[in-house]
Amino acid sequence: MKQRRRRRALSTRPLGNVAGHFTKDGGSKKRYRTQAEARSAAQLSWTLNGVDLESYRCEHCHMWHIGKRFRED
């Protein structure tokens, strides 16, 4: 009787510089056409959930995303 080999699941998250363009789950981040749209979405997130997000221009797709603020120490 042949023994079946298990295939190792491939990570859905890309590697390298492009990895920042995707969520932890491997899906692409939501894109906004303008900085104003992204800022509005970040403000809505703060109002509804208390999550402090900021908008930033993506170097890969050249559109706007929102993400958690990074502390500058």
> Which helix (H) or strand (E) segment is 36 a member of?
helix 35-49
The upper half-sphere exposure of residue 9, i.e. CA atoms within 13 Å in the direction of its Cβ, equals 3
Nearest to 58 by CA among 39, 40, 35, 36: 35
Q: What is the pLDDT of residue 44?
A: 96
Report yes or no on whether pTM surpasses 0.95: no
The pLDDT tens digits for 5-18 are 766 555 555 555 56
- Computed over every residue of the chain, the mean pLDDT equals 80
Q: What is the pLDDT of residue 47?
A: 95
